[in-house]
């Protein structure tokens, strides 16, 4: 199979028929064999009924229904797991991503050997505040990751199938799949300017809180990509340095007291100095950090590297 189109959907019953017909038309005109996997992320409207209808009329449309709303990352993770295409494309269900971009994205993966191609909505139909915060967020993400992308959060992306089978998307990490791919060794990452269409149906599912969540996720993914497989390198090193600093301060206090005694002077009690309690606190914190790193290493080696989401039912799988 040439192509898998993975579409997370949450309360998008109005747009799905038009999107499915558009994807089918584009793939047929480009002679691409395809499957369209729509993940109903716990919708509380008629989204699943629409997916079932689409699946009956077009065997290329497949559906997965979660028992509750897990989030976009969970939907993508599940879609990646079920995908069978040589190229995997993700897009949002709200028709703001144009399926007309599919043939060129597929060509870039196949002929230019990109591992990941991210869409860049250079001209956006969003409010000024959203555009400004998005630019600031993307600038920070570029500096953290070293990946020269203008739009990390664009839902329209293309992947070599090997990439999506090699990475684990969890939490809210769908924004940082290029970073996960880079960490997994897939370093040829490009971008393509894509059309951003104004929303036709429904309302956005994201508020201003995603700006804060985005930065928290950026810090998380930066830590995980650097220390996720070796937590002792972070906690152990930090704990060791703090323990050494606390020990050095305690030795200073002890040597100072011995110096007073040696010179026949009245030596102050070590416990009377505030530095004694600072040294003790730093040593205790250092010990806890070291133990945290040790326990994290044990957990890391015993934890299965997968996420499991409760699927209620499926179509054509």
DSSP 198: P
Distance CA 90, CA 80 (A): 9
Task: Name the strand (E) or helix (H) holding 160.
Answer: strand 157-160
Distance CA 207, CA 103 (A): 32
Where b means 16+ CB within 10 Å and e means fewer, 286-296 reads: beebbebbeeb
pLDDT for 244:
94
Query: Side by side, which strands form the sheet with 189-193?
Result: 189-193, 116-120, 157-160, 87-90, 3-9, 34-40, 61-66, 311-315
pLDDT for 16:
95
DSSP reduced 3-state for 169 = coil
10-residue block means of pLDDT along the chain (317 residues)?
95 94 96 96 94 95 94 92 95 92 96 94 71 77 84 91 89 82 90 84 62 68 71 88 93 88 81 88 93 82 59 76
Q: Give the CATH class of 3-227.
A: alpha beta
Q: pTM of whole model > 0.75?
A: no
Which residue is associated with the tokens 């953290």? 144
Nearest to 5 by CA among 97, 117, 91, 106: 91
Read off the pLDDT of residues 110-157 as tens digits, 9 standing for 90 and up: 999 999 999 998 877 666 666 677 787 788 888 878 888 888 888 899
DSSP reduced 3-state for 116 = strand
Distance CA 178, CA 163 (A): 10
Where b means 16+ CB within 10 Å and e means fewer, 55-71 reads: beeeebbbbbbbeebbb
Where b means 16+ CB within 10 Å and e means fewer, 129-146 reads: eeeebbeebbeebeebbe
pLDDT for 196:
82
């Amino acid at each position: 199979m040439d192509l898998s189109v993975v579409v997370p959907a949450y309360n998008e019953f109005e747009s799905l028929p038009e999107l499915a017909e558009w994807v089918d038309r584009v793939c047929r005109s480009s002679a691409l064999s395809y499957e369209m996997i729509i993940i109903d992320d716990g919708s509380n409207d008629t989204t699943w009924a629409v997916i079932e209808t689409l699946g009956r009329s077009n065997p290329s449309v497949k559906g997965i229904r979660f028992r509750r709303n897990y989030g976009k990352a969970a939907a993508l993770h599940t879609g990646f797991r079920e995908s069978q295409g040589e190229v995997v494309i993700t897009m949002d269900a709200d028709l703001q991503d144009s399926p007309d971009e599919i043939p060129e994205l597929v060509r870039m993966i196949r002929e230019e050997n990109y591992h990941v191609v991210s869409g860049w909505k250079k001209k956006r139909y969003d409010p000024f505040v959203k555009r400004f915060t998005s630019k600031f967020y993307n600038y920070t993400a570029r500096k953290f990751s070293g990946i020269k992308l203008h739009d990390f959060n664009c839902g329209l992306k293309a992947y070599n199938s090997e990439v999506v089978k090699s990475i684990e998307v969890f939490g809210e990490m769908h924004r940082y799949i290029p970073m996960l791919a880079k960490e997994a060794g897939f370093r040829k990452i490009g971008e393509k300017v894509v059309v951003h269409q104004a929303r036709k149906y429904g309302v956005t599912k994201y508020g201003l809180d995603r700006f804060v969540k985005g930065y928290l996720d950026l810090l998380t993914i930066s830590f995980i990509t650097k220390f996720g497989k070796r937590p002792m390198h972070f906690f152990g090193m930090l704990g060791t340095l703090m323990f050494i600093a606390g020990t050095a301060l305690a030795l200073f206090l002890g040597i100072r007291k011995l110096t007073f005694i040696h010179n026949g002077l009245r030596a102050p009690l070590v416990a009377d100095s505030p530095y004694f309690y600072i040294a003790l606190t730093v040593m205790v914190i250092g010990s806890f950090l070291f133990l945290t790193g040790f326990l994290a290493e044990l957990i890391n080696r015993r934890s299965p590297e997968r996420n499991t989401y409760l699927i209620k039912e499926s179509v054509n799988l």
